[in-house]
Amino acid sequence: MTEALLQVEGLVKTFGAGEAETRVLRGLSLRMDKGELSALLGPSGSGKSTLLTILGTLMQPTSGSHMMLGVDLTTANDRALTDFRNRHIGFVFQFHNLLPDFTALENVIFPTAVREGRETAAARARGRDLLSRMGLADRVDFPSTNLSGGQKQRVAVARALMNSPELVLADEPTGNLDRASAIQVMELIGQINRDEGTTFLISTHDEKIAATCCRQIVVGEGVVTG
Amino acid sequence: MLYALKIAFRYLLSSKAQSALLVLGVALGVFIFIFMSALIGGLANFILASIAGDLSHVSIVAEVEDPVLLLDQNLGHILLAQEKSALRQAFLRDAAIYVPMIAALPGVVAVSPQITGSGFITRGGQVAQVAINGVEPGKESAIVQLDSYIVAGSVRLGTGLTIIGQTLADDLDLTVGDTIRLDSAQGVNALLTVSGIYKIGQGGFDRATAYVSLDTARTLMALPQGVTRIEIKLSDLMAADATALRITAITGLKAKSWTEQGAQVMSALQAQGQTGLLLKTFAMVSIVIGIASSLLLSTYRRKAEIGIMRAMGASRRFVVFVFVSQGALVGLLGGLLGAGLGYVVLQAFPPRDAAHPSVMPIDIHEGAFGLAVLLTVTIATLAAILPARAAARVDPVTAIGQ
Ligand SMILES: Nc1ncnc2c1ncn2[C@@H]1O[C@H](COP(=O)(O)OP(=O)(O)O)[C@@H](O)[C@H]1O
Ligand SMILES: [Mg+2]
């Protein structure tokens, strides 16, 4: 059995209070191993995004435990979480992914530059390399607003990989793309997963996309149902 | 945080028109600040220079000491009236000792011992009352810049000579070289030759003061020793209060600073300074409002981006730095632009020495350029703190809005 990358137990997340209280997660438990490529499935509103933002340390659960790489993340403060996120977790979102005033390359190297306080030549070299692996060698210095939807998502994947994180969380990364672009993005993700052993958790409600992943995690009623 | 600075710069460049307007607004505020500094400072210098030129900064005037009245305390009710003697003359007996001591004090430019009194001039059948002012030959211009007011003859005094004002000369139909008879209140008279005529432009002065040498005045006032007044000129007239205290401490004489009489001028200067300060404060406040509101708007507009940056591992501090840097950059650019503008505009005004009463006495040296730029950068940075904190508090989850 492979080493556990992350483990959550009895995750509860409620929004609002009193009459308006919504229980989104109701004691969800999940374990992911290093090198997994998993799809997160479930109907709209089932709590996929909520789970991903908690796993990504962008939001604290109401209760439950959250361990990753042996670190207890439920008790960490904002500064520690920010640093942890920067080093160990990559994100790909559905919308609003790139910084509009920056080029593709500048977007990709952001996670390294923000940690080092400047854009180093080494970071640029890695950024270029990642972009060419995403098939964007000729779009390196393009302003990000001039890229197509599929290109933007591939830049976002490159950026998510910039700091060689153990875990990449992608929330419906193909939700906005046509089928061809969606398949291209998923193929690239699969390739990175095979070549570098990066763990991916990708939410989608598209069964075909989910089928490209090795493991399917289904959420419903606030818990993992399959 | 070079990287945060780069992002700040990029953000400012991405909305060029808005940033340019903001910088221009700041520059205008800085320009007003500098212009007001130059105007208020120039005005103060002008007023001080115009009164200070002929002013005694510190004066020591002899006072009559009334004799002590010896009375038996147990006599019951007594009405006691002391009549001031018009004949008894107050004088500073030991002036000869004190004058060099005072002259040696730091900041003292000139010390002028004087013997003053009153009398009248007779010329033919005409009589005019005058104030007699005896000064040391060679020190005629030590306090009043008499040499610059001479319209005829010479400023040099000596035995048997007098310098009178233009109005008096006109009244008595006198010219340089004419002889007059001067009777003092002490009942002494002398025949004097008019050696110079001055015109200060103040009626009273030009009509009523006759300058003579100290020795002539001594004879006229029947004062065998001492002087009646010592006038002192300083290099810095604002040091007058302190110097007066110092002279009193050293000599025991009652030295008075010009500010005691010049209180009105001082309070006028103060009022001017306060008005200037108020306007300068308004200028700075408008800079604060401009920058704070513009950055707050930008914070709102860039909410999603801030969320992305936070998700990618940008700390709250980093976000604060990005927005505070924008404020500082706007402050620096606006400050430099405003200072440059101020410098160019103030060039149009005549320099300090050539100031003319009909032109606003704006003094470029009072422009406080460095202070204006420094203050603007500081204030702009502080103004950015509120928007920066708002930016740092952006919740990445709601901002990204999945
Ligand atoms: N910040 C929030 N405040 C209140 N309710 C929320 C908030 N975020 C999510 N929800 C609710 O939680 C439920 C799950 O949302 P989400 O995790 O986005 O589901 P999914 O991504 O599977 O569509 C939804 O009913 C949604 O309305
Ligand atoms: Mg969702």
Q: Are B308 and A96 an interchain contact pair (Cβ–Cβ within 8 Å)?
A: yes
> Which token pair is A20?
């308006």
Cα angle A52-B398-B296, degrees, rounded to a multiple of 5: 145
> Which token pair is B295?
């950055």
Instruction: Name the residue with tokens 């435990």.
Output: A65
User: How many CB pairs below 8 A link A and B?
Assistant: 78
Which residues on neighbouring strands pair with residue A223, listed in sequence order?
A: A220
Residue B304 sits at the chain A interface (C-beta within 8 Å): yes
- Give the ligand at the shortest distance from the Cα of A222: 1
Q: Is the CB of residue A139 less than 8 Å from the CB of residue A104?
A: yes
- Please name which of B233, B219, B205, B388 lies closest in space to residue B314, comparing C-alpha atoms: B388
Rounded to the nearest angstrom, the distance between the alpha carbon of A45 and the centre of ligand 1 is 6
Which residues on neighbouring strands pair with residue B257, listed in sequence order?
A: B58
Q: HSE on the CB side for B223, CA within 13 Å?
A: 29
Whole-angstrom CA distances from B265 to A156, B44, B259 are 71, 10, 8
Rounded to the nearest angstrom, the distance between the alpha carbon of A13 and the centre of ligand 1 is 10
- CATH for A4-224 is 3.40.50.300
Other beta carbons less than 10 A from residue A118's beta carbon? 14
- Please name which of B196, B204, B65, B179 lies closest in space to residue B129, comparing C-alpha atoms: B204
Instruction: Name the residue with tokens 């001080």.
Output: B48
> Which token pair is B375?
């203050």
- Give the ligand at the shortest distance from the Cα of A42: 1
Q: Are A78 and B316 an interchain contact pair (Cβ–Cβ within 8 Å)?
A: yes
pLDDT in tens, chain A (226 residues): 456 899 999 999 999 888 889 999 999 999 999 999 999 999 989 999 999 999 999 999 999 999 999 999 998 999 999 999 999 999 999 886 899 999 999 999 999 999 999 999 999 999 999 999 999 999 999 999 999 999 999 999 999 999 999 999 999 998 888 888 889 889 999 999 999 899 999 999 888 888 887 888 998 888 888 7
Q: Could you tell me the residue ranges of all domains in chain B?
A: 2-51+265-401, 88-253
Q: Are B3 and A159 an interchain contact pair (Cβ–Cβ within 8 Å)?
A: no
CA-nearest residue to B302 within chain A is A99
Q: Is the CB of residue A205 less than 8 Å from the CB of residue A42?
A: yes
Q: Could you tell me the residue ranges of all domains in chain A?
A: 4-224
d(CA A183, CA B129): 115
Which residues on neighbouring strands pair with residue B60, listed in sequence order?
A: B230, B255
**What is chain A's Cα-based Rg?**
17
Residues of chain B with pLDDT under 50: 402
Rounded to the nearest angstrom, the distance between the alpha carbon of A155 and the centre of ligand 1 is 27
Q: Is the CB of residue B117 less than 8 Å from the CB of residue B217?
A: yes
> Which token pair is A218?
């289904």
Cα angle B74-B77-B83, degrees, rounded to a multiple of 5: 105
Four-point Cα dihedral B18, B20, B25, B27, nearest 10: 160
How is chain A split among helix, strand and coil, in percent rounded to 5?
40, 25, 35
Q: Whose CA is nearest to atom 25 of ligand 1?
A: A45
β-strand A199-203 against A223-224: which pairing, if any?
Answer: unpaired
Residue A221 sits at the chain B interface (C-beta within 8 Å): no
d(CA B386, CA B382): 8
- Exposure b/e, B273-286, CB count within 10 A at least 16 = b: eeebeebbeebbee
Instruction: Name the residue with tokens 């598209």.
Output: A206
Predicted local confidence at residue B353, as pLDDT: 59
Amino acid at B287: I
Which residues on neighbouring strands pair with residue B117, listed in sequence order?
A: B132
Shortest-distance atom of ligand 1 to CA A22:
5
Four-point Cα dihedral B18, B19, B25, B30, nearest 10: 180
Predicted local confidence at residue B402, as pLDDT: 45
Amino acid at A151: Q
Predicted local confidence at residue B378, as pLDDT: 95
Global pTM value: 0.74
- Exposure b/e, B66-84, CB count within 10 A at least 16 = b: eeeeeeeeeeeeeeeeeee
DSSP A102-115: SBHHHHHHHHHHHH
**What is chain B's Cα-based Rg?**
34
The DSSP symbol for A139 reads G
User: What are B34-52's pLDDT values in tens digits?
Assistant: 999 888 888 888 777 766 6
Q: Which residues contact A110 (CB under 8 A, 6 or more apart)?
A: A99, A102, A159, A162, B309, B312
Q: Are B308 and A99 an interchain contact pair (Cβ–Cβ within 8 Å)?
A: yes
Q: Is B249 exposed, middle or buried (0-12, 13-18, 19+ CB in 10 A)?
A: exposed
Q: Are A96 and B310 an interchain contact pair (Cβ–Cβ within 8 Å)?
A: no
- Please name which of B218, B53, B213, B60 lies closest in space to residue B139, comparing C-alpha atoms: B213
